[in-house]
Structure 1
Amino acid sequence: MLRIVNRVLVGLAGLLLVVGGGSVLAVGLGLDPPSWWVHDGQRDVLLSDADRTRWRDDGWWWPTVIAVLSVAVLLAVWWLTAVLRRRRLAEVLVDTGDGEGALLRGRALEGVLTGEAGALDGVQRAQAALTGRRSTPQARVQLLLEPHADPGDALHRLTTQALAHARDSAGLAALPAQVRLRGVKHRAERVT
């Protein structure tokens, strides 16, 4: 959901900047703007002296401007942190038993977990992602179940086989997982 909102906001901001900048550039290069356009020609300014100083002496003007700009800056910082925040775990800290540690690529463990979960009976497709901290990772697993599969049995096999193997191979005390199960949608077939 955040990805869709991000793309829509980036698209709208980009469209506004391109249209605004393109219009100013076109008028500055000497093209004739339509009669309803904001500025009229090369020597025209976007904000006249009267427009800029209209509310300057009113007591509400500057607090309102500062509040609106502060909210805009806070929203921009929130948006930037949401975009830059990593969703997936890059590496997992593996306890080697000798007091030292080794780093395992998160994508490698995800790939093994995805492969083993996808090979379970009744699972058509699997997808796994690691989140959390590198010393205490968490798994998010999505399973697409075949029509004949029992969800309880598939979940039991996932936890006792694939997740247990991943936890043991990485030397983790626990590997909490959030599992989403979906059934395959298939067309109804006529039985004769």
Structure 2
Amino acid sequence: MRAVLRTVDRVLLGLVGLVLLALGGAVLAVGLGASPPTWWLHDGPHDVLLGEAERTRWRDAGWWWPVVIAALAVLLLLALWWLVAVVRRRRLAEVLVDTGDGEGAVLRGRALEGVLTQEAGRLDGVERAKVRLTGRRHAPSTRIRLLLAPHVDPGTALHELTTGALAHARDSAHLAALPAEVRLHGVRHRPERVG
């Protein structure tokens, strides 16, 4: 399903890009003095895209502006829906696990994220952990954010994370590798007045 959605995204983006490139290139060519075909929207470099008659034709019709605004609103909502759908798919939904019998199994991505988050959150000095799986089903990777207490050495926390939580996840899912992008942040406390 994800492969189909990815293909549809690429095809739609390609078509929209080609149409915009062709229209923009044609308008630029006519503006620079190229002779347009007979069916083209305007006749030469000094012609306007919408003449006064075309702009004012529907001014007195009561239905015109509500229809234009509704169509533009629908286009905007579709574009926003598409953008949200593309952004939300960055999270890996499932991971393929080699079971050793030649068949394989599928592990839910959120389950692996949850286990990694819990194990990383139990490390000494980690106030909060957030894990997100990215990559592909057969080659997942992780993005981890750790909020560290002020007394924690970042190198030690990173070493414990890689030898602990990440190694356990990699071994339990029988993955050859589990690359990780780790961002470490320190807890900031508000200064308090001592009276």
TM > 0.5 fold call:
yes
Q: Structure 1 residues 58 and 179 mapped into 2: Cα distance closer, same or farther (>3 Å)?
A: same
**Secondary structure at 1:88's aligned position in 2?**
coil
Q: Deviations over 1:50-104 (max 9, x none)?
A: xxxxxx6542488968xxxxxxxxxx99876543220100000000000001000
**Secondary structure at 1:109's aligned position in 2?**
helix
* Counterparts of 2:48 and 2:99, CA distance in 1: 59
| Paired position in structure 1 for 2:26 | none
Give unpaired runs (5+ residues) of structure 1: 1-55, 66-75
Q: Match of 1:111, as an amino acid? A: G
Deviates most, 78-87 or 92-101: 78-87
**Candidates 167, 170, 173, aligned match of 1:170:** 173
| Paired position in structure 2 for 1:126 | 129
**Secondary structure at 1:126's aligned position in 2?**
strand
1:12-51 matches, cutoff 5 A = none
Matched, 1:136 2:139: yes
Q: Structure 1 residues 82 and 57 mapped into 2: Cα distance closer, same or farther (>3 Å)?
A: closer
Give unpaired runs (5+ residues) of structure 2: 1-40, 51-76
Q: Structure 1 residues 58 and 141 mapped into 2: Cα distance closer, same or farther (>3 Å)?
A: same
Q: Match of 1:129, as an amino acid? A: R
Aligned residues: 129
Q: Deviations over 1:157-178 (max 9, x none)?
A: 0000000001001110000000
Q: What is the alpha-carbon root mean square deviation over aligned residues?
A: 3.0
| Paired position in structure 1 for 2:38 | none
* Counterparts of 1:95 and 1:161, CA distance in 2: 21
Asked if the contact 2:145/2:182 (under 8 Å) is kept, the reply is: yes
Q: Match of 2:118, as an amino acid? A: G
TM-score by length of 2: 0.58
Q: Structure 1 residues 101 and 62 mapped into 2: Cα distance closer, same or farther (>3 Å)?
A: farther
Q: Structure 1 residues 57 and 105 mapped into 2: Cα distance closer, same or farther (>3 Å)?
A: closer
TM-score by length of 1: 0.59
* Counterparts of 2:90 and 2:151, CA distance in 1: 33
Q: Match of 1:107, as an amino acid? A: R
| Paired position in structure 2 for 1:159 | 162
**Candidates 81, 84, 90, aligned match of 1:87:** 90
